[in-house]
């Protein structure tokens, strides 16, 4: 039932600048503004734009036309590395399929996202992302797309240096459900996140901003130091 997105919309880079400085072909894939709204779902893990950095997920600048697992410095799942070795390139068709159901296209991906079932949502968010993948790479100045963190944490909490050994013990409780090898078999993957993101997410559970009873309970009884210890342990876990 997936709406077929036509590749010919950007087959050859005929770049027509509009007054909005949005490439015209991007508009043809979908609605950029609507796509920016859809992207909020992605922005919990992915950044895009001039200041974008790798977070829980890799940044998405220049994603179009790039080989899978090709963002240097980001630690990809074996699933994505295997897909890259098999020749997966992020063209419109494959991005569309991935967004529809990530685990169906790439077995073993750590991307914990159920997918966008509406073809229009996918088209819109891809139109939005397409702006940051011009060729040549001169993605436009845009408002930073990173959303505010889920919880505002005082610097003294964010700056706690976690005790890795303590984190290792505490982590034994996590691995009753979460796989240490970073795979997602029904419970989200939690390894190799930037420590700061891990801390923010755990405090979001601790303050019951994120809705999950098991995680609210687990995080609820962890001290700031314990959360920091877990964050550093999982960040560095091989």
Residue in 13, 175, 208, 209 binding another protein, rule: CB under 8 A:
175
Residue 220 lies near another protein (rule: CB under 8 A) = yes
Residue 166 lies near another protein (rule: CB under 8 A) = yes
Closest CA to 63 of 128, 143, 144: 128
At closest approach, how far in Å is the CB of 219 from another protein?
10
Residue 213 lies near another protein (rule: CB under 8 A) = yes
Residue 83's region, left for phi above 0, alpha for psi from -120 to 50, else beta, is alpha
Residue 203 lies near another protein (rule: CB under 8 A) = no
At closest approach, how far in Å is the CB of 150 from another protein?
20
Residue closer to another protein (CB basis): 37 or 169: 169
Residue closer to another protein (CB basis): 70 or 187: 187
Question: By CB neighbour count within 10 A (0-12 exposed, 13-18 middle, 19+ buried), where does 190 fall?
Answer: buried
Residue closer to another protein (CB basis): 74 or 166: 166
Binding mask 7-26 for another protein (x = CB under 8 A): --------------------
Residues 150 and 204: beta-carbon distance below 8 Å: yes
Residue 48: partners with Cβ closer than 8 Å, 6 or more residues away = 39, 59, 60, 61, 129, 132, 145
Closest CA to 89 of 65, 117, 116: 65
Choose one: 14-22, 25-33, 39-47, 218-226; the region binding another protein (CB under 8 A): 218-226
Residues touching another protein, count (CB under 8 A): 25
Q: Could you tell me which residues are beta bridge partners of residue 67?
A: 89
Residue 217 lies near another protein (rule: CB under 8 A) = yes
Residue 238 lies near another protein (rule: CB under 8 A) = no
Closest CA to 112 of 172, 196, 185: 185
Binding mask 108-147 for another protein (x = CB under 8 A): ----------------------------------------
Residue 213's region, left for phi above 0, alpha for psi from -120 to 50, else beta, is alpha
Report the SS3 class of residue 180.
coil
Residue in 53, 104, 185, 208 binding another protein, rule: CB under 8 A:
185
Closest CA to 127 of 10, 235, 27: 27
**CB-hemisphere CA count at 13 Å for 199?**
23
**Which residues of the chain form contacts with another protein (CB under 8 A)?**
165-166, 168-170, 172-173, 175-181, 184-187, 213-214, 216-218, 220-221
């Amino acid at each position: 039932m997936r709406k077929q997105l036509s590749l010919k919309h950007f087959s050859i880079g005929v770049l027509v600048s509009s007054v909005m400085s949005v490439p015209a072909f991007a508009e043809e894939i979908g609605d950029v503004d609507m796509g920016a709204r859809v992207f909020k779902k992605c922005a919990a893990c992915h950044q895009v734009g001039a200041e974008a950095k790798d977070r829980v997920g890799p940044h998405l600048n220049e994603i179009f036309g790039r080989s899978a697992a090709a963002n240097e410095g980001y630690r990809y799942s074996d699933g994505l590395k295997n897909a890259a070795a098999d020749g997966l390139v992020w063209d419109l068709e494959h991005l569309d399929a991935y967004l529809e159901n990530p685990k169906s296209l790439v077995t073993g991906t750590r991307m914990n996202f159920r997918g966008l079932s509406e073809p229009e949502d996918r088209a819109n968010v891809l139109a939005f992302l397409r702006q940051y993948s011009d060729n040549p790479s001169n993605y436009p100045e845009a408002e930073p797309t990173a959303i505010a963190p889920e919880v505002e944490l005082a610097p003294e909490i964010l700056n706690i240096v976690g005790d890795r050994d303590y984190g290792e013990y505490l982590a034994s409780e996590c691995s009753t459900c979460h796989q240490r090898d970073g795979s997602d078999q029904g419970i989200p993957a939690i390894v190799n996140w930037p420590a700061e993101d891990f801390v923010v997410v755990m405090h979001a559970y601790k303050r019951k901003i994120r809705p999950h009873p098991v995680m609210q309970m687990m995080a609820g009884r962890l001290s700031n130091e314990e959360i920091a210890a877990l964050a550093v342990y999982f960040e560095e876990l091989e």
